[in-house]
Structure 1
Amino acid sequence: MHDTRTAVVTGAGRGIGREVALRLSRDGHRVVLTARTARELTAVAAECPGPTLAIPADVTAKDAAEEVFAKAEEWGGPVGILVANAGGATSAPVARITDEEWAQALDLNLTAPFRFVRRAIPGMVEAQWGRIVVVASMAAKRGDPYVAAYTAAKHGVLGLVRSTAAELAGKGVTANAVCPGYVDTPMTERSIELIAARTIRSEDEARHLLASRQPIGRLVSPAEVAETVAFCVANAALTGQGINVDGGAVQS
């Protein structure tokens, strides 16, 4: 077992974030869970085998990172692990994306992770140990139609990770992005419902369509993404990477 650390996980109430929180707790870390819905956080905290602190927060709020970290540090000491997982997507052709939709996509998927990363760095550098993991997306590696705002934000957050890694190399702090394909989560369920609503396909057909875009022929499980996050935490030589967890859809 490696040393016990205090870990902050954003978007921890469901899907990938829930599974990451459970995995880090099983690995022996103290886990701070944050998301907007207190009820979901309470449920995830109850599933974790180790110490947890649930902090309901909207990560897009300007002071959210400062407030979450202040409470986390008071509870569990210096934060050694940050998993910036909160994110979300909307769908529209480029020509129909409003300024508001564009700004919302960047706020949630790029600016919020930036603020959490920025807040995490000083304590990690002081401790000469830290692990920053951003849950990005295959949209950080390629462009698909109708998700330009989300894709631009995810490309941006991969750039943030790469520059952060280069800056902190040699200081005991790593920064990586995990880039999932289509994962069996509530977010993907919403995509399936949207495809069914906008086309003549049933939800089962829409699910099969997404699954078939990955060579393994199925959706990725949240546990498989969490396993990759845990690998980023465990491996001190791994930094500056965007690790694909997409069933072979994009080879790099």
Structure 2
Amino acid sequence: MTSDTSLTGKHALVTGGGTGIGLAIAHALAQHGAQVTITGRRQEVLDAVAGDGLWGAAMDVRDEASVDTVVNAAVAARGPIQICVPNAGIAEGRALHKTKLEFWRNMMSTNLDGAFLTIRACLPGMRETDWGRVIAVSSIAGLRGLPGGAAYSASKHGLIGLIRSLSEDYMGQPYTFNALCPGYVDTPIVDRNQVAIAERTGMSTEDARQVMIDSNRHKRLIDADEVAAAALWLVGPGSQSINGQCIQISGGQTA
């Protein structure tokens, strides 16, 4: 992007910002001038990537007090959060008849409750400013059913419903709410899932990885920087009319 898209003076918060998609988005925002608070459950992971515009703060998105405390501290240190990226999430598959309530609730608490708590904590400061962007990281599983992933798909569908409703609540105001819906991205989550799929099905880890690759329409894993580029577009000039949208990043039509 060109220099006229500078985010200098903007404060961004990215949950799950220590690895994968979250880290790619955090780096992209920082490279364009934003001060970025990255959160995750392990401080040592955040410390390893902090610097160059990134500040790490351990936070559990499932815990209301943790979210409110960290967001308030970040606002006190770096000003109102005008770019909120609820990205933290877990992606695990399990057949419904093997899904215990504990598994279901942890999925919802992380992927959906965590986004709700994060956005809610960031909004008061954002609403005191004249500009704001909320970019939730959902999934193509938020737009269509994912075989073997009922809990995950339900959580991501719920996240899209939250974003669409918020876009209506703040219609006409200088804040937009959008969701990024990537297919399988080349991150540690894919590495973990290929092992889980192999164990569950008996196939090799290479074949399990190929299943995920083949699920993307262009038959390759997506690079995290491709998702970050979409996030930059949503915070760039001319993005003010992109609101309540689900941006598919999956190599083709998927829903």
| TM-score w.r.t. length of structure 2 | 0.93
Contact 1:213 1:249 in 2 (8 A): no
Q: Distance in 1 between matches of 2:124 and 2:59?
A: 22
* Residues 35-44 or 24-33, more deviating: 35-44
Q: Distance in 1 between matches of 2:242 and 2:67?
A: 25
Q: Distance in 1 between matches of 2:177 and 2:249?
A: 17
2:9 counterpart of 1:42: no
The CA deviation string for residues 205-247 of structure 1, in whole angstroms up to 9 with x for no partner, is 2212211121211000110111111111111211100111111
2:250 counterpart of 1:246: yes
Q: Specify the alignment match of 1:189 in structure 2.
A: 191
Contact 2:183 2:250 in 1 (8 A): yes
Structure 1: runs of 5+ lacking an equivalent: none
Contact 1:214 1:249 in 2 (8 A): no
Equivalent positions of 1:48-59 (< 5 A) are 49-50=52-53, 52-59=54-61
2:123 counterpart of 1:121: yes
RMSD over equivalenced CA pairs, Å: 1.3
Match for 2:21: what amino acid? I
Q: Secondary structure at the match of 2:82?
A: strand
Contact 2:7 2:32 in 1 (8 A): no
Contact 1:178 1:225 in 2 (8 A): yes
The CA deviation string for residues 161-210 of structure 1, in whole angstroms up to 9 with x for no partner, is 00101111211000000011000011111111112222342222221221
Q: Distance in 1 between matches of 2:136 and 2:120?
A: 13
Contact 2:60 2:67 in 1 (8 A): no
Q: Secondary structure at the match of 1:43?
A: helix
Equivalent pairs counted in the alignment come to: 248
* Residues 166-175 or 120-129, more deviating: 120-129
Q: Distance in 2 between matches of 1:34 and 1:142?
A: 29
| TM-score w.r.t. length of structure 1 | 0.94
Match for 2:134: what amino acid? I
Q: Specify the alignment match of 2:223 in structure 1.
A: 221
Selected match of 1:13 from 15, 18, 23: 18
2:160 counterpart of 1:155: no
Q: Specify the alignment match of 1:64 in structure 2.
A: 66
Match for 1:202: what amino acid? S
Structure 2: runs of 5+ lacking an equivalent: none
